[in-house]
C-alpha cells in the first residue's frame, strides 16, 4: 500500500542524535511516496522548523535536552493542527506514552520498530489514523489501571504534620512546633491516616517513607 495521492508525504525528523536522523533520512529515500521535509535536533528547533516547512508528518523523539518531545508536540499540534506527530522513542513507560498522546501525538512507536511498521504508521498518520506499538499500548493500559500514588491529596499543612510525625514528635510537640492547638493537630493526624488508608501513626510513617510522600 502506498500513498494514494500524487504528492509524497513530507516527513520531518526530530531527534537529538544525528545518527538516528541520518538513518531515518536514508530510510525515507527507499519509498517513492515519502520525502524528507527537514530535520531538527531538539523541541524548540522543531517548532520553528515546522512553521517553515509545514510537513505532513513528524517523527518526534520524546527525550531530548532543553525542550522534550511532549512539549514540542503540544506546541506544534496547537499551532499547526494539520501536522501529525508520531512519537518515535526508546522509552515505553506508560506515563511517557500518556504524556505524548495527551500532547496530541497520533502515534507512539519504539525505535526498534521494523521498517514495514514504521512506514505503515507514517501512512496511517497522514490519513489521521493512530498507531501504537504493542509495548506502548500495554504500558498505557498498565498505567491506566495503576492506583494513584498515596498522599497526592494531602494538604500542605497535613504534609507539614506528617514530616513531624516522621521525626517522632507526638501531637503536643507538633502543636508547639507549628504554633497551633493540639486538637487541630489531632484532626490533621486523623485526616492523614484516612487519606493514606492506614490505621496507625506507625503505618502512616512507614508508608510515607516507602513512597517518598514527603521530602
In this structure, what DSSP letter does residue 31 have? -
> What is the average pLDDT score of the chain?
93
Q: Which CATH class is domain 156-210?
A: mainly alpha
Q: Where are the domains of the chain?
A: 9-145, 156-210
DSSP string, 161-194: HHHHHHTT--HHHHHHHHTS-HHHHHHHHHHHHH
Q: Are 130 and 106 in contact (CB under 8 A)?
A: yes
For 97, the enclosing helix (H) or strand (E) is helix 94-103
**Against a cut of 0.75, is the pTM above it?**
no
pLDDT, tens only, 55-72:
999 999 999 988 999 999
Q: Are 50 and 85 in contact (CB under 8 A)?
A: no
pLDDT value at position 1? Answer: 46
Give yes or no on whether 9-145 and 156-210 have one common fold. no
| Cell representation of residue 208 | 510515607
Q: Which of 67, 101, 66, 99 is nearest to 86 (CA)?
A: 101
pLDDT, tens only, 14-55:
999 999 999 999 999 999 999 999 999 999 999 999 999 999
* Topology classification of domain 9-145: Rossmann fold (3.40.50)
C-alpha R_g of the chain: 24
pLDDT value at position 143? Answer: 79
Order of strands across the sheet with 107-110? 34-40, 9-14, 57-60, 84-89, 107-110, 131-132
Burial of 165 (0-12, 13-18, 19+ CB in 10 A): buried
Ramachandran angles phi, psi of 13, nearest 5°: -110, 130
DSSP string, 106-164: SEEEETT--HHHHHHHHHHHHTT--EE-HHHHHHHHHHHHSPPPTTTT--HHHHHHHHH
169 C-beta neighbours (distance < 10 Å), count: 17
| Cell representation of residue 93 | 513507560
Separation in Å, CA 115 to CA 42, 84, 109, 123:
24, 19, 12, 12
Give residue 78's pLDDT band: very low, low, confident or very high (50, 70, 90): very high
Q: Are 46 and 76 in contact (CB under 8 A)?
A: yes
pLDDT, tens only, 92-129:
888 899 999 999 999 999 999 999 999 999 999 999 99
Amino acid at each position: 500500500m502506498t500513498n494514494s495521492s500524487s504528492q509524497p508525504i513530507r516527513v520531518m525528523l526530530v531527534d537529538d542524535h544525528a545518527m538516528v536522523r541520518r538513518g531515518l533520512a536514508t530510510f525515507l529515500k527507499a519509498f517513492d511516496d515519502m520525502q524528507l521535509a527537514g530535520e531538527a535536533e531538539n523541541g524548540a528547533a522543531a517548532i520553528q522548523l515546522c512553521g517553515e516547512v509545514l510537513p505532513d508528518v513528524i517523527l518526534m523523539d520524546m527525550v531530548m535536552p532543553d525542550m522534550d518531545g511532549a512539549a514540542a508536540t503540544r506546541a506544534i499540534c496547537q499551532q499547526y493542527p494539520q501536522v501529525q506527530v508520531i512519537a518515535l522513542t526508546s522509552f515505553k513507560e506508560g506515563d511517557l506514552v500518556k504524556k505524548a498522546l495527551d500532547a496530541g501525538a497520533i502515534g507512539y512507536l519504539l525505535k526498534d520498530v521494523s521498517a514495514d511498521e514504521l512506514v505503515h504508521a507514517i501512512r496511517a498518520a497522514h490519513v489521521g489514523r493512530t498507531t501504537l506499538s504493542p509495548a506502548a499500548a500495554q504500558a498505557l493500559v498498565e498505567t491506566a489501571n495503576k492506583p494513584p500514588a498515596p498522599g497526592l491529596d494531602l494538604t500542605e499543612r497535613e504534609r507539614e504534620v506528617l514530616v513531624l510525625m516522621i521525626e517522632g514528635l507526638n501531637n503536643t510537640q507538633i502543636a508547639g512546633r507549628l504554633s497551633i492547638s493540639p486538637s487541630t493537630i489531632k484532626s490533621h493526624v486523623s485526616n492523614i491516616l484516612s487519606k493514606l488508608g492506614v490505621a496507625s501513626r506507625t503505618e502512616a510513617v512507614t508508608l510515607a517513607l516507602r513512597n517518598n510522600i514527603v521530602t
